Structure 1
Amino acid sequence: MYQAVNAVLEKYDADMGAAEAHGMAVGMLCVELKSDAANWLHELITDQNGLFDEDKTLLADLFERSRALLDPENGEFNFDLLLPDEEEALSEQVEALRVWCLGFLFGVGYAHTDADWPGDSAEVMRDLIELTKIDSDVAGEEDEAALMEIHEYVRAAVLIVRDQFAEYKNTNMH
């Protein structure tokens, strides 16, 4: 899936790759599960006139699958970050995780323009900002283990942000 999405984004000269695009989608969905895929697509590919249906469908499916995986009503947490396979160079995996965090921050900011951050989400967002500064010049088992830990942390962070925004909406709706 990662390679397919990357190929589509490259084909249309998008300003970002698959990891960052997925991060953005997830950020938007964490703030508002009802976010519109069209807004996300517009951020990725400004001129959609030349966008082939099958490419648009692939991207829209990624967005909708992310929405389904983030929906608390779906129970089990099967959500994961869209990153390169473990066979790829470790530096490429780290760089993808770094830009995934950038995309996530952009997506949350896109959907949440208020300066107030609900609950623990402000702290989590600070951590993710720090992760956008990680050095992708890595190698070896220690760095591989660190990457796995960071990956798991980011997955958990996404849930925290999602839950904090859901709670925030519920308390401010009454």
Structure 2
Amino acid sequence: MASAESQPDFSTISDIFLAHGSLQSPAFLDGYLCARLALDDVDAENWLLQVCASLGVEEPATREDGEMLLAWRKRTRERLDAQEMSFEPLLPDELFTLAERAQSLALWCQGFHEVVSETDSDRRDNWSAQLREGVEDIERLSRIDTELEEDGDNEDDLLALTEHARMTALLLYIEEHPGRPDVEQPPEGTAQQLPDSHDSDGRGPH
């Protein structure tokens, strides 16, 4: 059960999922949420219905759990819309293994890609070349090799890939909401290129 002091971070949302009998990672739904907020929006009621359907329940087990699931959506939208570009994907922190973190990133990208892939070509044509490339990279990242050894190079690569996904999500939001947030679009090259250790089949860090 989520406490009043809890924040909608990865561990808190994972605990709610577990309390509802689900072993799935919240990363997939977070990627889905970010793309939906950028492209079509999703209101609080429909978001809660979406999460409950994913968990296989009709409604949250407790009022506190429901409030936390709604806070998840609210904070994500606020951070996508923030001037300081403070958005962060809902992913596990360094207390999790590198393989677990890579798996969560892949799931996040799968959720994001599921929404973006349904965008019609006319709408995509209005995106910048940088955004279109970033979206293509997200699809590749959804298939990265998640069997990673714990070493510094893999750690650095995974951090770079996570930042690339983060900036792509922000860029999508910015281009779909001109003037919101009230910041200049990220300069060319801000959405990082995939590290050289990734080949064309989308495999992850070596």
For this structure pair, what is the TM-score category when the shorter chain's length is used for normalisation? 0.7 to 0.9
Structure 1 position 52 matched with structure 2 position 58: no
Alpha-carbon contact 2:28-2:111 (below 8 Å) kept: yes
Alpha-carbon contact 1:98-1:133 (below 8 Å) kept: yes
Deviations 1:44-99 (A, max 9, x none): 2123335321111111001000011111xx31111111111112100001111110
Deviations 1:105-124 (A, max 9, x none): 23445xx6534313134332
Q: C-alpha distance in 2, partners of 1:16/1:6?
A: 8
Q: Which has the larger radius of gyration?
A: 2
Cα RMSD of the aligned pairs, angstroms, is 2.0
Deviation at 1:27, TM superposition (A): 1.1
Higher relative contact order structure (alpha carbons within 8 Å, sequence separation ≥ 6):
1
Q: C-alpha distance in 2, partners of 1:143/1:64?
A: 32
Q: Larger helix proportion, structure 1 or 2?
A: 1
TM value normalised by structure 2: 0.71
Structure 1 position 114 matched with structure 2 position 120: yes
Alpha-carbon contact 2:60-2:66 (below 8 Å) kept: no
Could you tell me which amino acid in structure 1 is paired with residue 145 of structure 2? D
Where do residues 66-105 of structure 1 align in structure 2 (5 Å cutoff)? 66-71=76-81, 74-105=82-113
TM value normalised by structure 1: 0.83
Structure 1 position 149 matched with structure 2 position 160: yes
Runs of at least 5 residues in structure 2 that lack an aligned partner in the other structure: 1-8, 179-206
Q: C-alpha distance in 2, partners of 1:28/1:151?
A: 19
Percent of aligned pairs with the same amino acid: 27
Runs of at least 5 residues in structure 1 that lack an aligned partner in the other structure: 168-174
Give the equivalent residue in structure 2 for 1:124: 134
Alignment length, in residue pairs?
162
Q: C-alpha distance in 2, partners of 1:14/1:23?
A: 18
Give the equivalent residue in structure 2 for 1:4: 12
Could you tell me which amino acid in structure 2 is paired with residue 97 of structure 1? L
Q: C-alpha distance in 1, partners of 2:153/2:105?
A: 17
